[in-house]
Amino acid sequence: MTGSLAVVGLGPGAPDLLTDSARAALDRAQDLVGYVPYVARVPERPGLVRHASDNRVEVDRARHALELAASGRHVAVVSGGDPGVFAMAAAVFEALERGDPAWRALDITVEPGITAMLAAAARLGAPLGGDFCALSLSDNLKPWEILTARLEAVLRADLVVALYNPISSARPWQLGAALDLAAGIRAADTPVVFARAVWRLDEAIRVMTLSEARDAPADMATLVLIGASATRLIPRGPGQRPFVYTPRSVGAS
């Protein structure tokens, strides 16, 4: 087959945080496939055909991209952050496994990007300096009971927890339920971070305690970080956000 498919991570949104290899894959592409706001991040240019779609059709989108590549086109499937973290890479390989066996001969690559928890951590200091876990609060693809069981397990294991997809108009209660679960396991003064649109013009980052977090506003552009027992704040000057870090060693004083 002469076509190709690259699954490209666009990073957090700042153009200078897009990797050179991701930019080269976008420059090569004849077709751009992805969720509407991610497709909109890529500048228009002659010869680039855009295929934007809704956020609940990931496997259909992946199948369409594979069909385009199989027809001889050079295709880029775009995701925000890293395509392998709750994003399009898994959907592409799911469609590949279930689809036309001939697709397996395609040139398929994954171009990594900076995922939201790493972008937020860089703004804060080093909250992921110790052991950590990432969970998606969306129950579109897994039952809520499984999600909460996993969340309880990592909270009891005393890991820093990064919560992706924390809330939406269709499920406005789930973040509150997750924070209530955390409040029953972690101390009330545990640091919690709400990091929205990190590295973009509308960036908003708030550091608070777990006891304050229950009523904090959030949306799908927000990443929520719940600290571990060792996570610390380093106060700074007036009006400055504290640094947040988690020591690498267990039992550090």
pLDDT tens per residue, range 190-224: 999 999 999 999 999 999 999 999 989 999 899 99
pLDDT more than 90, % of the chain: 91
Which sequence spans correspond to the domains of the chain? 4-114, 117-245
Helix and strand numbers (H, E) in the chain are: 8, 13
Residue 35 has pLDDT above 60, yes or no: yes
Residue type (1 letter), 138: S
- Any idea which architecture 4-114 has in CATH? 3-Layer(aba) Sandwich (3.40)
pTM of the model: 0.93
Q: Give the class (CATH, top level) of 117-245.
A: alpha beta
CA distance 178 to 215: 12
How much is the average pLDDT of 128-140? 95
The pLDDT tens digits of the residues spanning 52-110 come to 998 778 999 999 999 999 999 999 999 999 999 999 999 999 999 999 999 999 999 99
Contact indicator for 171, 139 with CB cutoff of 8 Å: yes
Residue 253 has pLDDT above 60, yes or no: no
Residues near 74 by Cβ (< 8 Å), separated by ≥ 6?
Answer: 3, 4, 6, 28, 29, 30, 31
CA distance 127 to 244: 5
Q: What is the pLDDT of residue 252?
A: 58
